[in-house]
Copies of this chain bind each other. A is one copy, B any other.
């Protein structure tokens, strides 16, 4: 009979010790298929343990298919399976997690100045939201996002962007990647998607990952070249008209109208208007969004709180034209909202009580000071003698066109060597750039304090020797 060594003083329950022992015997072949096990009562008496313990072990073995129970006959070992075919794969040892380089002065464009985040207010609102302990807070929220937040976003868009959107047209999602992925499901994979070149290459990658054909569309001084859309058979185009990334072009109204005319010419054409940093405009009134000029329900407006609040919040949203919003509800009702309700309720209160507007004003002032400090330091170090900054009226980065005596990769590499992180324009190229394009660097200035601009640019001066 089975005689495992059971230790009643061990942390592992007795039934589990017994289960493991029998399972081991079966796997090793010492208990053969078809063999009958002792009755529960007999085994309990043999091992001086309770019947309940044996029942626990047998029950588990039955549940897992190691044993079979035949009524009035007892427990039998189930036919064992031959060993699994092992596919030999090179075992990766140990798995590496990629790391991002860190710089003493980091002019990256993907971060914000976290010191500006309204922690106290946010913590207070979170506490408030959590203390309500509402049922609605915990169960699955509306697939498009909680109504209070969509209402707040609609009010904000109307006030600050002149955009008329009913909350029923808004879909909240965990970042533009998630929304873009959903849009491909909504707009289909059969048509070709156009993206700006140079541009935000992540959009290109996401669309490619979603299995659609993507065509890079080149730009002129007014932005995307609309006539190229037909040439490339584009059906859906992604644009950043408020502030092109990275060139900083603000698309003029005539070009916007040309783009809208292109979209209106065919019923399946759409424009994805990515308004990613439109909150940061430092002079004049913001230019009307494409969405607000659109009469034909051709524009899907996308924006994010990543730049205006914090990237780690993961809250973006889109405004669908009414006919697409209706299709969304009909076909994508099964998707859950991807943003936690806690954050959605906290953000809606943040907006309703004017905190968001105040935060934006405060942040805009801060960033403007940085931009000015950067430009002042550039003049003082003589950088403006060998290069010129463009795109400074809006957004959170500047493009620095450099004298042709340098090569772009070399400039970025030398800057990195002295601890200054700047990106070459080429990271935004989807195709080889036109021959003779001068070298250029992208400088996001959200992470460098005003007083650090002069030392940072002195380092660049020594690295580039201008």
Binding site for B on A (CB under 8 A): 16, 19, 56, 59-60, 63-66, 78-79, 81, 84-87, 89-92, 94-98, 110-112, 114, 117, 119, 122-123, 126-127, 130-131, 133, 135, 137-142, 144, 147, 166, 168-169, 174-175, 177-178, 181, 185, 189, 202, 205-206, 209-211, 222, 250-258, 260-261, 264-265, 267, 283-285, 287-288, 293, 295-298, 310-315, 321-323, 325-326, 329, 332-343, 393
Contact = CB atoms under 8 A, between A and B. Distances in A.
12 contacts: A65-B251, A84-B261, A85-B265, A86-B295, A86-B296, A95-B168, A112-B138, A114-B133, A126-B130, A138-B312, A313-B340, A313-B342
**How many monomers of this protein are in the complex?**
2
Contact of A140 (B94, B312, B337, B393): B312
Q: SS class of chain A's interface: helix, strand, loop or mixed? A: loop
A56 B284 contact: yes
Contacts of A147: 97
Contacts of A325: 92, 95
A16 B284 CA distance: 9
A81 B130 CA distance: 53
A91 B296 CA distance: 10
B338 A177 contact: yes
Contact of A298 (B56, B87, B168, B174): B87
A177 B185 CA distance: 13
Given A63-B284, A135-B114, A285-B16, A257 B84 contact: yes
A393 B63 CA distance: 10
Contacts of A285: 16, 19, 60
Contact of A81 (B19, B142, B258, B295): B258
B174 A338 contact: yes
Q: Which 5 residue pairs across A and B have the least CB separation, nearest first?
A: A65-B252, A95-B168, A312-B341, A87-B296, A114-B138
